Amino acid sequence: MERIYRECQSCGMMLNKSPHGGGTNADGTISRMYCAYCYEKGEFRQPKWTVHQMQEFIRASLKATGMQDFQALAAAKGITKLERWKNAQPAAPGVPAPKPVAGPKPATIAVKQSKTVVKPDKPKQKKADVRAPEMKKKR
């Protein structure tokens, strides 16, 4: 029994944005798992792509729509959790795959922290304190 997904489990695009609402299975029915760009007649249209190749493709495609590069890159990195890739070897052939990390992924956390760091360069001036006594004298 095929599960129904909201996003293509290969490229991450919304299935409702795919032609026909999804790719086609071998029996001609619409796939509720992969989009029409990734999946046709029960087979991947890019069967030999690695997750890295797919990420580069998605990044380029999103940038072509006007998306900022860092946003496109972040979206592309998200596909590693999709069904097609989550059990795939992340490294190229011949390179030993990194060991699975238990718990939160350190790489993801590091990226988020570096973006949210705010430098306290300018101390805030308190204007309210200066104005308040004058208003009291006038009254």
Q: How many residues bind Zn ion (CB under 5 A)?
A: 5
Return the closest-CA partner of residue 84 out of 58, 49, 40. Answer: 49
Minimum gap (Å) between residue 12 Cβ and Zn ion: 7
Cite the DSSP H helix spans in the chain: 51-64, 69-77, 106-116, 127-138
Cite the DSSP H helix spans in 1-105: 51-64, 69-77
Minimum gap (Å) between residue 128 Cβ and Zn ion: 55
* Binding status of residue 15 toward Zn ion by CB under 5 A: no
Minimum gap (Å) between residue 100 Cβ and Zn ion: 25
Task: Report 29-58 residues binding Zn ion (CB under 5 A).
Answer: 35, 38
Minimum gap (Å) between residue 59 Cβ and Zn ion: 14
Judged by beta carbon, residue 8 or residue 75, the one nearer Zn ion is 8
- Assess contact for 19 and 45: CB atoms under 8 A: no
Out of 7, 8, 15, 54, point to the residue binding Zn ion (CB under 5 A).
Answer: 8
Judged by beta carbon, residue 23 or residue 73, the one nearer Zn ion is 23
Instruction: Output the CA–CA distances (angstroms, integers) from residue 123 to 16, 106, 119, 126, in the order listed.
Output: 49, 32, 11, 9
Distance, CA of 23 to CA of 7 (rounded, Å)? 12
Single out the segment in contact with Zn ion by CB under 5 A; choices: 8-16, 52-60, 82-90, 95-103. 8-16
- Residues forming contacts to Zn ion in the complex (CB under 5 A) are 8, 10-11, 35, 38
